[in-house]
A and B are shown apart, each in its own frame.
Chain A
């Protein structure tokens, strides 16, 4: 299996622009997670989906952030408008539904907002 695929790997954008991060989970995995990692705040769970349905989005920092999962093999995380404080590495992870819930992480997208 190719593992979790994220694109782009690096994104540099100007403040105010829309940013879309993409994720393809491992085939057969029913749960998908979006995380953000910064030096200051560490690893934060933003949102997760079970069977394409958002279960918990309490970690989404602001209304500028939105996530969708239109089908079992694709998810997006969108930031509109972007701000410099959104600069971080964004990880997508997937897992099978049901215990033990171990997650497999993608390589991440490094976002820089100038």
Chain B
């Protein structure tokens, strides 16, 4: 069965610092992986996705993620964060049945 583990529930970071949000998945089949962002009082918004091909995926707002099959990881990174990046981030893997399995989320808090 597929599952997603987000290793950090909260990540505090100072503005303009780099950040990495960690995600590990388990899947015995080909994977489609996603990162979603949820700003306060809003719905989830797709940040980026890995379907196939290049293991480095670029998304919106300067975020990128790297798919690592051997380590079953899909970590999200940004070289320099802004206050506006404060949000909750969810990693997800697609199931063959057609739904997504979400991690429990990581709350990114960017401080001035």
Which residue numbers of A lie inside 8 Å of B, CB to CB? 4, 31, 33, 42-43, 45, 48, 50, 55-56, 91, 93, 95, 97-108
Contacts and interface: CB of A to CB of B under 8 A. Distances in A.
A50 B98 contact: yes
Nearest to B50: A100
B42 A107 contact: yes
Interface of B: 32, 34, 36, 42-46, 49, 51, 90, 94-95, 97-100, 102, 104-105
A91 B43 contact: yes
Contacts of B32: 99-102
A41 B43 CA distance: 17
Contacts of A101: 32, 94-95, 98-100
Nearest to B9: A42
A43 B99 CA distance: 14
Contact of A43 (B45, B49, B51, B105): B105
Nearest to B46: A102
Contacts of B34: 102
A55 B90 CA distance: 24
Contact of B43 (A42, A55, A107): A107
Given A100-B32, A100-B49, A42 B104 contact: yes
B99 A42 contact: no
Nearest to B90: A43
A48 B44 contact: no
A97 B43 contact: no
A48 B30 CA distance: 22
Given A100-B32, A105-B43, A108-B43, A48 B94 contact: no
Given A43-B105, A91-B43, A101-B98, 11 more contacts: A33-B99, A43-B104, A45-B99, A55-B97, A97-B98, A98-B98, A101-B32, A103-B100, A105-B43, A107-B43, A108-B43
A26 to B, nearest CB: 13
A78 B76 CA distance: 37
